[in-house]
Structure 1
Amino acid sequence: MKKLLKQTAAILMTAALSSLAMASAEKPLKVGFVYVGPVGDAGWTFGHDEGRREMLESLGEEKVETTFVESVAEGADAERVIRTLAQQGHDLIFTTSFGYMNPTLKVAKQFPNVKFQHATGYKRAKNVGTYSARFYEGRYLTGVIAGHMTKSNTIGYVGSFPIPEVVQGINAFTLGLRSVNPDAKVKVVWINSWYDPAKEREAAESLIAQGADIINQHTDSPAPVQAAQDKGVYAFGYDTDMTRFGPDAHLTGSLVDWSGYYTDTTKAVLDKNWKAGDVWGGFAAGMIEMAPYNKAIPESVVKQVEALKAELSNGELAIFQGPIKAQDGSVKVAAGTTLLNSRLTI
C-alpha cells in the first residue's frame, strides 16, 4: 500500500511539474518601451509606438505582451522607470531616447538576464544593444528640395539639443541644400527640448520673421509645420507624415519605420538567438523613407531626389565627402576622404 501511495505521489508530482513547465513555456515574452514624449506627439514617440503596435500584431499577443511608459524625462526619472520595468519581469526593454543611455546601462548591470536596446546611443554591454536609423539620408534629400524651392535663400531649422544625431542631421541637410544652391544658408534655433509645441512654434515663427521661407525641424511635434502653414511658407516634417497638419506647407519629410526592427529584435529574443550589437539602417534597410511629395515641388526636382535616394540606397552616393569645412574654416573632412558607416558628426 505504501509503495502504491509513493507511486501515485510521484505521478502527481510529475504531472504538476509538467503542467508548470507547459505554463512557463506558454507565458508570453514581456517587452517594455520607455518613451520620452507622449504617444500622441505625432512625431518621434508616435512613430516608436506605431512600431510597437505593428510588432505586436505581427508576432501575436499569445507570444508577446507589451508595456509602455510615456513622457519619461531623461535622467533620474528614466532610471527609475527602466528599473521598475525590469523588476516587473520584462524580458526585453527598449529605451527610446539618447538621454536614456547611461540610465539603461546602470539598470542593465543590476538585471543581467534582461535584454536592453537603447535608441540612438553608442554605449553597449553584454545585455545592452543599440539601434538607430540613418536619419541624415532623408535630411540630405530635404536639403536638395529646399535648395530648389527657397526664394529667400534662408532656411530655418528648429533644433532640439546639440547632440551628435541632431548636428549630423543639420549638416546633412545643409550639404544637400548647398549641392544645388551654394548661396543658401541655414539658421538654427535651439529649444533644448524634444517635445514642447509652444517653444517649437515660437522658434519657427522667429525664424520666419528672420526671412526663412522654409522651416525644417528636429523636434517631435507638428507645431513648426502648423506655424509654416499659418504664415504661408513651406516646411518639412519629421519621423511621421505630418502633411495633415499643413497640407499646403508640408513639402515632404524624412520618415522612420521602426516596425521591422522591433519585430526582428523581439523574435530574436523569442528564438533565443539575440545578441547585443548595433543596428543602423537607412533607405536600403527600409528604416528611412520619404513622406509624400507636395505637388508644389517641380517634377524635375522629384526625379532628381528619387535618383539620389537610389544612389544612397545602393551606396553610390556618400553624403559626408570631403572637402568639408566648419563655419570657422577649419577642415573637418579632407579632400579625397569620406565618412562612411560612421556616426561621427562634423
Structure 2
Amino acid sequence: MTEQSTFTRRRFLGGAAAIAVATAFGLTPARLMAAEPIKVAGVYTVPVEQQWVSRIHKAALAAQDRGEIEYTFSENVSNTDYARVMREYAESGNQLIIGEVFAVEDEAREVAAEYPDIAFLMGSSFKEDPSLPNFAVFDNYIQDASYLSGIIAGAMTETGNIGMVGGFPIPEVNRLMHAFMAGVRETRPDATFQVSFIGSWFDPPKAKETAFAMIENGADLLYAERFGVSDAAQEKGVLAIGNVIDTQADYPDTVVASAIWHFEPTLEHAIKMVREGSFEAADYGVYSFMKEGGATLAPLGTFEGKAPQEALDMVEKRRNEIMSGDFVVEIDDSEPKSQ
C-alpha cells in the first residue's frame, strides 16, 4: 500500500469515528459534514464553460458553497496529460476525483488502480469493473428530456427538415439524438434529419459552419448538441433546440426548448458514499434520469404561447408517464444516420 493510500484510509476511518463521537454528544452527522468538507478535484479536457462539463462544474461549485466539499479543478487537459493530472490530484490528498475519460479509458483506470483508497467518478462510455472497486462511471442519460424537446421541435418545424450537429458519435451523444428524433416523430411523423458530427467537443466555428450547410440544404430547425449551432440558427432566422444547458437567454428568438442535465443527484450520491466509506464500482447513469431529478425540460420562456397547445399537452402527458414509469424512452446508443 502506498503512503497516499494509507493516508486516505486513515482519513476515511477517522471520519467515521468522528461522526460516531459527534453523534454521542448530540451533534448531527450533517453538522459535522458541513464542518469538514471532503476534498474533490475535477479533471476536464475542455473549458468548464463547455456544455457537458459546465454541468459537472456547476454542481461541484454548489456543493462547495454548501460546505460539503473543497473543490479544485483543471480544465483543457490534453488526453496525453490526463493520467499525470489525475496522479497529481491523487497525491494531493483528494478523496474524490471527477472528470471525463472518454478518450483515455485505459490510462484513467490504470491510475485508479494505483490509488485504491481514493474514489474516482468518471464520465465514461464503458461500464464499471468490479475488479476496480474505487472507479465508478456516469454519463448524462437525459434521453427523457431530449425526447420531450423533440415533441416540441416536431410541432415547430414548418418544412419537417431538421439538422442535427453533434461532437462525436459516442453513446452519450447518440442516445440523445435518437430520443430527440423519436420525440419529433410524435408530432411530425414525416420529418427528415440531416445528421453530422464535427469530431470535436469544443469547436464552435466548425459546428456553426456545419449548421450553415444544413440550413442551405433546407433545414428550418436545428438540434444544437454543440456550441456554435444556435449562432448559425440565429443568423439565418431558423429555430434551434438546446442540449444539456439552457441558452435561451442568449438566443431569445431562436432556442425554443432545451433538454437540461442536472449533475447534482450524481455528485450528491458520490459524496454520500465517500463520507460513509462505502464508495464502490457502480454505474451512476441512473441519477441522470428525469425521475431521479437528473434531467428536465427547460421552460419555453420567450416561446411561451408560440408552441401548439396539442404538443404541450403531449409533453405533459409523456412527462407524467415518464415520472410514473408508465412510459420509458428507448435508449439507443447506435450511431444515428441522416434519414
Normalised TM-score (structure 1): 0.80
Q: Residue 185 of structure 2 corresponds to which residue in structure 1?
A: 178
**CA distance in 2: counterparts of 1:135 and 1:345, whole angstroms:** 16
2:41 is aligned with 1:32: yes
Q: Residue 324 of structure 1 corresponds to which residue in structure 2?
A: none
**Runs of 4+ residues over 4 Å off in structure 1:** 24-28
Q: Residue 298 of structure 1 corresponds to which residue in structure 2?
A: 308
Name the SS of the counterpart of 2:259 in structure 1: strand
**CA distance in 1: counterparts of 2:327 and 2:229, whole angstroms:** 30
Report if aligned partners of 1:165, 1:345 keep a CA contact under 8 Å in 2: no
Q: Residue 193 of structure 1 corresponds to which residue in structure 2?
A: 200
Q: Residue 158 of structure 1 corresponds to which residue in structure 2?
A: 165
User: One-letter code of the match for 2:263?
Assistant: W
2:274 is aligned with 1:274: no
**CA distance in 2: counterparts of 1:308 and 1:132, whole angstroms:** 23
Structure 1: stretches of 5+ with no match in the other structure:
1-20, 321-341
Q: Residue 175 of structure 2 corresponds to which residue in structure 1?
A: 168
How far off its partner does 1:97 sit? Answer: 4.8
2:57 is aligned with 1:49: yes
Report if aligned partners of 1:167, 1:345 keep a CA contact under 8 Å in 2: yes
**CA distance in 2: counterparts of 1:283 and 1:29, whole angstroms:** 28
**CA distance in 2: counterparts of 1:159 and 1:94, whole angstroms:** 24
How far off its partner does 1:129 sit? Answer: 0.6
How far off its partner does 1:107 sit? Answer: 0.6
Q: Which moved more, 1:88-97 or 1:202-211?
A: 88-97
Q: 2:137 aligns with which of 130, 134, 152?
A: 130
Q: 1:202 aligns with which of 183, 193, 209?
A: 209
How far off its partner does 1:345 sit? Answer: 3.7
Deviations along 1:185-227, one digit per CA (max 9) or x if unpaired, are 11012100111111111111111111111110322x2x21122
Larger Rg: 1
2:89 is aligned with 1:85: yes
**CA distance in 1: counterparts of 2:272 and 2:328, whole angstroms:** 33
Name the SS of the counterpart of 1:39 in structure 2: coil
Q: Residue 98 of structure 1 corresponds to which residue in structure 2?
A: 102
Report if aligned partners of 1:101, 1:118 keep a CA contact under 8 Å in 2: no
**CA distance in 1: counterparts of 2:194 and 2:119, whole angstroms:** 41
User: One-letter code of the match for 1:44?
Assistant: W
How far off its partner does 1:242 sit? Answer: 0.5
Report if aligned partners of 1:86, 1:114 keep a CA contact under 8 Å in 2: yes
User: One-letter code of the match for 2:38?
Assistant: L
Deviations along 1:135-166, one digit per CA (max 9) or x if unpaired, are 21122112211211111111000111111222
How far off its partner does 1:119 sit? Answer: 1.5
Q: 2:75 aligns with which of 70, 73, 96?
A: 70
The share of aligned pairs that are identical, in percent, is 31
Q: 1:112 aligns with which of 116, 121, 134?
A: 116
How far off its partner does 1:344 sit? Answer: 4.9
**CA distance in 2: counterparts of 1:97 and 1:142, whole angstroms:** 28
How far off its partner does 1:102 sit? Answer: 2.5
Q: Which moved more, 1:233-242 or 1:125-134?
A: 125-134
2:264 is aligned with 1:256: no
Change (3 A) 1:260 1:55: farther
How far off its partner does 1:237 sit? Answer: 1.3
Change (3 A) 1:309 1:99: farther
Normalised TM-score (structure 2): 0.81
Change (3 A) 1:235 1:344: closer
How far off its partner does 1:179 sit? Answer: 2.6
**CA distance in 2: counterparts of 1:299 and 1:100, whole angstroms:** 46
**CA distance in 2: counterparts of 1:34 and 1:72, whole angstroms:** 7
**CA distance in 2: counterparts of 1:27 and 1:54, whole angstroms:** 16
Change (3 A) 1:146 1:343: closer
User: One-letter code of the match for 1:285?
Assistant: E
Deviations along 1:302-334, one digit per CA (max 9) or x if unpaired, are 2211211111222211333xxxxxxxxxxxxxx
**CA distance in 2: counterparts of 1:310 and 1:345, whole angstroms:** 27
Q: 1:232 aligns with which of 219, 234, 237?
A: 237
